[in-house]
Amino acid sequence: MICVLVTAKNGQLGQCFQNLAPQYADIEFVFKTSSELDITNKAKIEGAFGSHSFDYCINCAAYTAVDKAEEAIELADKVNHIGAKLLAESCQKFNITLIHVSTDFVFDGKATVPYLEGDITNPLGVYGKTKLKGEQAILKTLKHYFIIRTSWLYSEYGNNFLKTMLRLAEQRDELGVVGDQVGSPTYAKDLAEAILQIIELKTTHYGIYHYSNEGEISWFDFAKEIFRLSGSSIKLNKIETKDYPTPAIRPKYSILNTDKISRLLSIKIPNWKVSLEKAYSNLLKQKV
């Protein structure tokens, strides 16, 4: 039996793991909320790790409010950097493999081809900088780790683009969505399944990996498909980034090259449209 600790169980990725857990009879899961396991508190981490014999820790805890992070610098660093560092140190002490979720925001978005794991990082804002510092702390501390960078995460849980678009479609007749930022949406449940497959493989191909759903689209394209699925009659207008200023600068190009995770770990990655349909269907089931 493989024993796995999952942090931040109430976040959208944490909830996806809880939803999938019954399908993995060979894995014993222990789920902790952010209050039950504060990853910025070394004593709390060591207490949790010492109470069980864990093989893996999946860190879903993160400060992800990209715009708020521009002012809440200390808090973002505490969770995204110091929290990752403390988890890594405790994983080293207790001989636990850390699986840490990171982001496309470690890149500046100036590329013209999908980002490889070894490409130069250059985050534009506080969120990306603190996530990168978290990655670097793990690299300095651990040999047994998986850092998985993902992009445009959404699901039927929590706050995300899918749910925001559906809410706005009920409130408005017209909406402008940015069409000059390109990326790959990632269904959080697909990411969770990929991570669980890595655990079941018991692979020693440790390192940094990229995972996002297949396909390159803009936020406008994403919204358009969401409204098509929902049958919404909202008028959708394509706007440019300059027309929708935000405190944090977003990468213009966020495509992650996922060849490594497919090749080394045999992870099959669905197309974004297929996954969006699944997510929307699951969201409708929740409302019944």
CA-based nearest residue to 223, from 168, 158, 186, 270: 168
Q: What is the DSSP letter of 6?
A: E
Give me the catalytic one of 63, 127, 154, 157: 127
The encoded tokens of residue 1 equal: 């039996």
Residue partners of 227: CB distance under 8 A and separation at least 6: 165, 169, 234, 236
CB-based contact 173:240 (threshold 8 Å): no
Burial class (CB in 10 A: 0-12, 13-18, 19+), 270: middle
- 127 catalytic, yes or no? yes
Other CB atoms within a 10 A radius of the CB of residue 147 amount to 25
Residue pointed to by tokens 């130069």: 120
Q: Which of 62, 61, 72 is nearest to 126 (CA)?
A: 72
Mapping DSSP onto H, E and C, the string for 203-265 reads CCCCEEEECCCECCEEHHHHHHHHHHHHCCCCEEEEECHHHCCCCCCCCCECCECCHHHHHHH
How does DSSP classify residue 40? T
Question: Distance between CA 192 and CA 188 in Å, rounded?
Answer: 6
**C-beta separation of 195 from 135 below 8 A:** no
Q: Which residues are annotated as catalytic?
A: 127
